Structure 1
Amino acid sequence: MKTASGAQLDFGRLALLLLMLGVGWYFWYSPVLWPLKVLVVMMHESGHALATLLVGGSVDKIHLAANESGSCLSRLPPGFLAQVAVYSGGYLGSAVAGAGLLLATFRFRLRRWVLGAACVWLAVMGMLYGGDGFTLLFCLGTALVLGLAAKFLPDGAVDALNLFLAAFTALYAVFDLRDDLWNSAVRSQSDAALLADLTWIPSVVWAALWTLLAVGLLVVAAYWSMHAKPRGMQMPKVPTRARRV
C-alpha cells in the first residue's frame, strides 16, 4: 500500500505497534503500568496548561494523585473562546502527545531525543507548576529515570522503550476518553460538563466531538508512522572516459 507521495506500508513497524498495543492492553490493570498512567495524566494536565498560556492566561499549579486523577489550576482571561480552548485542552492534549510520540518514534526514529525531550518537559513542568509533594516528586523522579535511560541504555533498549511509550500513550488517550466521557456518572464531573455549562451544548456532544478529533488524530499519526518513504535506487556514477564518444 502506497500513499500519494509514494511512501510504502512498513509491515515491520505495523507489527511492532500492534505488539506494543497488545502488551499494554493485556497488562492494563497491572501495577507495573501505574507510572505510565500517571505520566499520561500529566500529559492531559499539560494540555490544559499549554492552552491556558496560549490564550494569555497563567497557570498556578498542577496536581497529580496516586489514583490517576489530576487537576490544573489556572487563571483565564475573559472570553468565551479562551474558556472553550482551555477546557478542551486536556483530552486533546493527551491525544496530541500520543500522536507526536508515534510519529517521533516510528516515522522519524528520533530514539534518544524522545526520552530527552520527555525528561526536560517533566522537569520543567514539575519545577514550575508542581502543586504538591507527590506531583513534584513524580515529575522529577520520572524525568531522572527517562534521562538516565536516554544516556545509558543501549540503542535496542531505547527503541523498545520508545515504542512502548508511544503505543501506551495512544492507547491510554483512547481509554481515557472512553472511561471519562462515555460513563455518564464520570462525565457529569469532567471537562465536558464544564463546557456544557458554558455553551449549553450537552456534555455528550462534547464527548463525541473530542472522541472524533482525538481518535482521528491518532489514526492519522499511526497511518503516517507506518509508512516509510522509499529510498529509491541510486544510479552508479559513470566514469568520465566512459561518457566520451
Structure 2
Amino acid sequence: MPYVNGYPEHNFAVFARDAKESLTPNATQRTTLIVAACYIVAIGILWHVPYVSVILYPFKLLTVGFHEMSHAIAGVLTCAHIHSVELDPDEGGATRMSGGIPWITLPAGYLGSSLIGAALIVCGFDTNAAKIASLAMAAFFLFTLWWARKSWITWLLILGMSGLIVLFWFVAGGVALRYFVLFIGVMSDMYVLWDVIDDTISRKVNGSDASAFAEICGCCPSQVWGVIWLIQAFAFFAAGIIIGIVAFKQSAEQQKEDASHFLPVPGSNAAMQLIPTTLSSMHFCLAATGAVLLCHW
C-alpha cells in the first residue's frame, strides 16, 4: 500500500472527500448564502443613499450596542466597574468604566461585535439555532438595559428589536426568524468592517478605540491596529459562513420538522403540550427579574 508522509494514501483520499462534502453547501444552504449575499449588496447600497439609509438606522444602533456591550463584558471579565453604557442618536456610543485591563477592554469592542456577528451568521443557517440565538439576544438586551436603563433611545431600540423577533418567530414556522438573525449577523460584521476602515484606515480619529489602544501600546500607529482588527473581522466573517455550512446540513424540510418540536410557534400542537412547562419557566424568569431589579434599586 502506498504511503504519503507515513500514512496510507487512501486515508488522505477519505479525508479530502469528507472535507469536500462538508464544505459543499446543499440546496438550502445555497439559498442562505444567496440571501446573505443580497444582504451584503443591499446594506452596501443603503449605507450611502440619502434618506433611504434611514432603513438601516435601528440596525446600526443595534450593532453599536453590540460594540459597547463587548467593551462592558470585557470590563466585567477583567474586574472593571461599569458605570454606564450609552447609545446616542448619532450612531455613536460610549462605555464608561473604571479599572479593568485596557489592552483587553479597548479591542473588545470591534472583536466582540465581530464575534457576535459571526455567531449570528452561523445560527442563520438553521431555524432552531436562530431560535436559540434570539433567546441569547434577549439576555443581551437585558444586560444592556441594566447598564443603559437611563437612555430612552436604548429602550426604544430594544423594544423595537424584541417586537421584530417575536413577529418573525410566528412567520413560516420560524423561517423568517432565521433570515432575520442572519441579517443582524451580516449587518454586525459589515458595520465592524466599515467602522474600522472609516475610523482608523481611511482617516485617523483621535477618539477611536484604535488611537487609544495605540497610545497604550506605543509601538504602532492606530492605522496598523485598524488593519489587524480588520483582518480579524474578515476572519470571523468567513468563519461564520464556513461553520454554518459544515454544522447545519439539514434540508429546509428537516429544519421545519425539527423546529416544530423545539420551542414551537404558540398555538401549534407541540406548543400546547409545552404550555405547563413554559408557564412555569415564565413565572420563574419574571420572579427572578423582579428580584434583581428590587435588589438593584
TM-score, normalising length: structure 1: 0.81
Contact 1:115–1:146 under 8 Å retained in 2 = no
Q: CA 1:13 to 1:164, structure 2 compared with 1: closer, same or farther past 3 Å?
A: same
**Larger helix share, 1 or 2:** 2
Aligned to 2:253: none
Which letter maps to 1:189? Answer: G
Which letter maps to 2:143? Answer: V
Task: Give the superposition deviation at 1:2.
Answer: 6.4
TM-score, normalising length: structure 2: 0.68
Aligned to 1:184, the other structure's residue is in SS state coil
The structure whose RCO (Cα within 8 Å, separation 6+) is larger is 1
Q: Distance in 2 between matches of 1:22 and 1:169?
A: 14
Deviation per residue, 1:124-170 (Å, 9 max, x gap):
311x1006333442354235324523554442322332222222222
Work out whether 1:157 is the aligned partner of 2:176: yes
Work out whether 1:168 is the aligned partner of 2:187: yes
Q: Distance in 1 between matches of 2:127 and 2:19?
A: 19
| The one of 220, 225, 235 aligned to 1:206 | 225
* Aligned residue runs from structure 1 range 60-75, under 5 A: 60-75=83-98
Aligned to 1:241: none
Aligned to 2:151: 133
Aligned to 1:32, the other structure's residue is in SS state helix
Q: CA 1:38 to 1:229, structure 2 compared with 1: closer, same or farther past 3 Å?
A: closer
Across the aligned residues of Structure 1 and Structure 2, the Cα RMSD in angstroms comes to 2.5
Higher mean displacement: 212-221 or 52-61: 212-221
Aligned to 1:53: 76
Q: CA 1:9 to 1:86, structure 2 compared with 1: closer, same or farther past 3 Å?
A: same
Structure 1: runs of 5 or more not aligned: 232-245
Identity of aligned residues (%): 22
Contact 1:119–1:142 under 8 Å retained in 2 = no
* Aligned residue runs from structure 1 range 2-21, under 5 A: 4=19, 6-10=21-25, 11-21=30-40
Contact 1:119–1:147 under 8 Å retained in 2 = no
Contact 1:92–1:210 under 8 Å retained in 2 = yes
Q: Distance in 2 between matches of 1:120 and 1:229?
A: 24
Higher mean displacement: 219-228 or 134-143: 134-143
Residues paired across the two proteins, number = 225
Higher mean displacement: 204-213 or 112-121: 112-121
Aligned to 1:38: 61
* Aligned residue runs from structure 1 range 21-36, under 5 A: 21-29=40-48, 30-36=53-59
Higher mean displacement: 198-207 or 38-47: 198-207
Q: Distance in 1 between matches of 2:198 and 2:18?
A: 34
Q: CA 1:181 to 1:18, structure 2 compared with 1: closer, same or farther past 3 Å?
A: same
Higher mean displacement: 171-180 or 44-53: 171-180
Q: CA 1:160 to 1:122, structure 2 compared with 1: closer, same or farther past 3 Å?
A: same
Contact 2:40–2:186 under 8 Å retained in 1 = yes
